[in-house]
Amino acid sequence: MTDAQTVSDLTKEQARLELARLAALLGRANTAYHREDAPEISDAEYDAAKRRNAEIEMHFPELKRDDSPSEVVGAAPGEGFGKISHVVPMLSLGNAFEDDDVTDFDDRIRKYLNLGARRELQFIAEPKIDGLSLSLRYEGGHLVYAATRGDGETGENVTENAKTIADIPRVLEAAPDVIEVRGEVYMSHADFEALNTRIREKNAKLEADGKKPLTVFANPRNAAAGSLRQLDPTVTRERPLRFFAYAWGDLSAPLAKTQMGAIERLAALGFVTNDLTKLCDGPEALIAHYRDIETQRVSLGYDIDGVVYKVDDLGLQARLGFRSTTPRWAVAHKFPAELAWTRLEGIDIQVGRTGALSPVARLQPVTVGGVVVSNATLHNEDYIAGRDSKGADIRDGKDIRVGDWVQVYRAGDVIPKVADVDLSKRAEGAERYVLPERCPECDSPAVREEGDAVRYCTGGLICPSQAIEKLRHFVARKALDIEGLGAKQIEMFFDDPDLSIKTPADIFTLANRDAANLTSLKNRKGWKDKSVANLFAAIEAKRDIGFARLLFGLGIRHIGETGAKDLAQHFGEWSKLERAAETARPAALAWRAADLAEDAERIAAAKGGRRGRIKEVRDAAEAACNVSVVAKAAWDDLTGIDGIGASVALSLTDAFANENERAEIDRLVGMLRIEAPEAMLTESPVAGKTVVFTGKLEKMTRDEAKVRAEALGAKVSGSVSSKTDILVAGPGAGSKAKKAADLGVTTIDEDGWLELIEGL
Ligand code: IVH
């Protein structure tokens, strides 16, 4: 093998031959990997060949070939796509399921905008395409990049692939200088079938040659995603993808005054827009169009999963703005849930960061509404036994056993659930399922407290799956971000019996260990006096920590970065957050009870082929919990925070009510100095100021005024005190205006306020 020969020993002729051999080898490997999804050589062999090729090219630059493998862009296995951060984030949509949710949507908007019930409010309704969203940025009329949604903030650069899609123009005429067109990439049913047929034919050949077959796509959405995210654009070119334009991001000039106008403009620019987009004058017309689209669904030739409603007036859209991840001016009305029968192959137990044992159904894969489902949540042991949290029957009291035929229910993005069990197919001798009484991860007793539906591992920090997950999250970049302390070091410290870093608080006691233990750290490979000192300094520096970072770092279920920021912004002080979580607890439990009741009703309705009495059932379950006014007020305050939904609020109260978790939080908090959140927009003239609105506002509603003010970093309070900086007084302002005058608080009218925040 010439590979063995040192590059500097090669003659020029040997080098030329070797470069030719490597170009052929790597070219073949690329095709096998990217185009046929059937790698012929290992990643390690591939990398070694690529390195050797580069080394020879460096020694003999004059021999570099025109088709040099080092010039092949973006096609190296595992290299992935570049990242693009979206100038305007790509958000998702809130969901509606029932007709009532549509009227609620209209009511909410009218209330927010203070429109009254009779003022005209137009919407557009259009199909919700089941594909993947893509943002196309054009500058000076030329496509500069195409990016996937990613996490909404940062997506993948798939420009070369997007250029292969016929519906995507490369050049625009008479467009704004900067325009980002957004829409959905999808694959038609016919193209999807044809693609799978081609793959099956290829597989027959591959199998005959004893090679690994290619994956047959489960549905058009997966096929579209798999094709767009191909590292080799020539593969994407062979996959017939399409694109519907329905939205936009960054713009240097507005497209129109209305959503419909903007869509027409996009069509005039050469984009494909959806024909079923319709202007509607209210909920009734929206629902009528929804039904119409629902009946056409089977014959459209592409997958849709609902209908999207958007406020037509773009001025109103701007006023309505966004919650943390969804616009207030749009909603997705989803098609009803789908059901399918399959076999329950087993029940797995997952142990989460909080120690909760969650049973998960392992199913024989089945397609439910176009998506392959192989797992479903089983909630807890009562649910498996066929009872709800109050002991009432669910699924007519039928329990779930391994080996059973179960009916799987799926609605929109909701995690699949088991809706029913076919007792006639139950195997003889099938036994009732019993949740393990010991943690499958650490063998500690797993106990269930009186009144609690969940069984928890009592191992706490000795349970590796809880402890390590918590620690890893705690030191992550978006959480504490301690320099020199990443996931790798955490694992090492966790396993080291001398250092024994088992909890976040332990990190802050690391420097207090006795010398002998620290010697053990210093004796480790790669750790020297200096690096240990640096690590201690880095840890010390994080004793002053931002409220939101700390809260996010605790890894409480559902509390992501944005949620943590919203909570920090609202409460300002840690003790206030604690108090709110404690006070709201009974109301949180009532909400959970109502949610379970709602689920049960939804499933019953889907099975009975009727529309559910969701609201009534929910309200009744909640009322049965008989929550105090104080708890309800705390819960309303918590869930009233923009961006904080009930499940986030519930998790928060869960964490503070869990004894072990709470003790750890308190211990950690005791070691830190928590910094109050910074105002969101420090350069705004109202940042950090306390503002009170009183009297009648004429150009906006209170809600809107409050959201705007808070977005600019102000604190909005309901009463005037010496802490008030600005009173915005509309007509009819009474005692508050007087008090403000007495206290010497700056008082302005609504126009004065709008002038102050103008352009922000
Ligand atoms: S509007 C600010 N319109 O649905 C929100 N989205 O669940 C902009 N989608 O991420 C989205 N069809 O990928 C909009 N006609 C449509 C859509 C649509 C499909 C997708 C989109 C979005 C997801 C949200």
Residue-wise pLDDT tens digits, 209-230: 888 888 788 788 888 998 998 8
**pLDDT (0 to 100) of residue 510:** 84
Residues 337 and 602 sit within 8 Å (Cβ to Cβ): yes
**Ligand 1 and 293: CB distance under 6 A:** no
Homologous superfamily of domain range 83-334: DNA ligase/mRNA capping enzyme (3.30.470.30)
What atom of ligand 1 comes closest to residue 326's alpha carbon? 2
Pairwise pLDDT comparison (139 vs 530), residue with the higher score: 139
Q: Between the CA of residue 705 and those of 113, 146, 343, what are the distances in Å? A: 10, 36, 54
Higher pLDDT, residue 414 or 415? 415
pLDDT exceeds cutoff 90 at 465: no
Nearest residue by C-alpha to atom 21 in ligand 1: 133
**Confidence category of residue 669, pLDDT binned at 50, 70, 90:** very high
Report helix, strand or coil for 438: strand
- Which atom belonging to ligand 1 lies closest to the Cα atom of 133? 13
Is residue 1 very low, low, confident or very high in pLDDT (cuts 50, 70, 90)?
Answer: very low
The residue-averaged pLDDT of 590-603 equals 84
* pLDDT value at residue 2: 38
Please give the model's pTM, rounded to 2 decimal places.
Answer: 0.56
Which residue's CA lies nearest to atom 1 of ligand 1? Answer: 247
Q: From the CB of residue 389, how many other CB atoms can be counted at a distance below 10 Å?
A: 19
Residue 331 class from Cβ within 10 Å (0-12 exposed, 13-18 middle, 19+ buried)?
buried
Q: Is 224 in the pocket of ligand 1 (CB under 6 A)?
A: no
DSSP bridge pairs for 138: 143, 179
Q: Whose CA is nearest to atom 10 of ligand 1?
A: 92
Q: Return d(Cα 389, Cα 657) in angstroms, integer.
A: 18
Ligand 1 contact via 364 beta carbon (within 6 Å) = no
- pLDDT for the residue 6: 83
Q: What is the pLDDT of residue 138?
A: 96
Q: What is the mean pLDDT of residues 445-467?
A: 81
State residue 525's pLDDT score.
Answer: 64
**Mean pLDDT of all residues in 67-79:** 52
pLDDT computed for residue 78 by the predictor: 31
Q: Cβ(133) to ligand 1 under 6 A? A: yes
pLDDT for the residue numbered 552: 95
SS3 at position 140: coil
Task: Tell me the average pLDDT of the chain.
Answer: 87
Closest C-alpha to ligand 1, atom 12 = 128
Ligand 1 contacts CB of residue 92 (under 6 A): yes
Domain 690-756 has CATH 3.40.50.10190: yes
Number of H helices, E strands in the chain: 26, 24
Pairing of β 456-457 and β 446-447:
antiparallel
Distance 147 CA to ligand 1 centre (A): 15
Alpha carbons 432 and 197: distance in angstroms, whole number: 43
586 lines ligand 1 (CB under 6 A): no
Q: Do domains 83-334 and 475-542 have the same CATH topology?
A: no
- CA distances to 349, 373, 380, 453 from 358, in Å: 5, 18, 6, 11
Question: Residues 322-354: pLDDT tens digits?
Answer: 987 889 999 999 987 778 899 999 999 998 777
In the chain, where are the structural domains located? 7-71, 83-334, 475-542, 550-675, 690-756
251 vs 470, residue with greater confidence: 251
The residue that leads in pLDDT, 73 or 173, is: 173
228 Cβ inside 6 Å of ligand 1:
no
128 lines ligand 1 (CB under 6 A): yes
The pLDDT value recorded for residue 76 is 32
| CATH for 7-71 (3.40.190.10, 1.10.287.610, 3.10.20.30, 3.40.50.1370) | 1.10.287.610
Exposure class string for 406-425: b at 16+ Cβ within 10 A, else e = bbbbbbbeeebbbbbbeeee
CB 720 within 8 A of CB 649: no
pLDDT band for position 504 (50/70/90)? very high
CA of residue 130 to ligand 1 center, whole Å:
9
pLDDT (0 to 100) of residue 413: 57
Helices (H), 364-480: 381-385, 464-474
Determine the pLDDT at residue 412.
Answer: 60
- Average pLDDT score over residue span 550-562: 90
Quickly state the pLDDT bin for 499 (edges 50, 70, 90).
Answer: confident
132-139, strands of its sheet edge to edge: 142-148, 132-139, 178-186, 242-251
Residue with CA at minimum distance from ligand 1 atom 13 = 133
CA of 93 to the centre of ligand 1 (A): 6
Residue of 88, 90, 91, 93 to test ligand 1 pocket, by largest number of atoms within 8 Å of CB: 93
pLDDT at position 283 over 60: yes
Which among 706, 689, 684 has a CA at the least distance from the CA of 697?
Answer: 706
Cα gap 459→470, rounded to integer Å: 14
User: Is the minimum distance from the CB of 304 to ligand 1 under 6 angstroms?
Assistant: no
Checking if the pLDDT of 678 tops 90, the result is: no
Which pair of structure tokens corresponds to residue 520?
Answer: 């053990």
Fold classification of 475-542 is: DNA polymerase; domain 1 (1.10.150)
Q: Is the pLDDT of residue 175 over 50?
A: yes
* 181 alpha carbon – ligand 1 mean position (Å): 13
Residue with CA closest to ligand 1 atom 16: 128
In ligand 1, the atom with minimum distance to the C-alpha of 310 is 1
Q: Does the pLDDT of residue 434 top 50, yes or no?
A: yes
Of the residues 128, 417, 470, 565, only one is catalytic, namely 128
Angle at 434 between CA 428 and CA 439, to 5 degrees: 140
Q: In this predicted structure, what is the pLDDT of residue 3?
A: 47
The reported pLDDT for the residue numbered 108 is 95
CA of 92 to the centre of ligand 1 (A): 6
How far is ligand 1, taken at its centre, from the CA of residue 253, in Å?
22
Report the pLDDT averaged over residues 394-404.
92
Pocket probe mutation, ligand 1, options 91, 97, 132, 133, max atoms within 8 Å of Cβ: 133
Largest CA distance in the chain: 95
pLDDT (mean) for 110-124: 93
Catalytic residue flag (residue 128): yes
Rounded CA separation 138/177 (Å): 8
Please state the atom number of ligand 1 nearest to the C-alpha of residue 322. Answer: 2
CA of 185 to the centre of ligand 1 (A): 11
Place of tokens 């590796």: 464
Q: Is the CB of 96 under 6 A from ligand 1?
A: no
329 pocket-lining for ligand 1 (C-beta < 6 Å): no
Res 460: pLDDT = 67
- Cα of 304 vs centre of ligand 1, distance in Å, is 11
Q: What is the mean pLDDT of residues 158-184?
A: 96
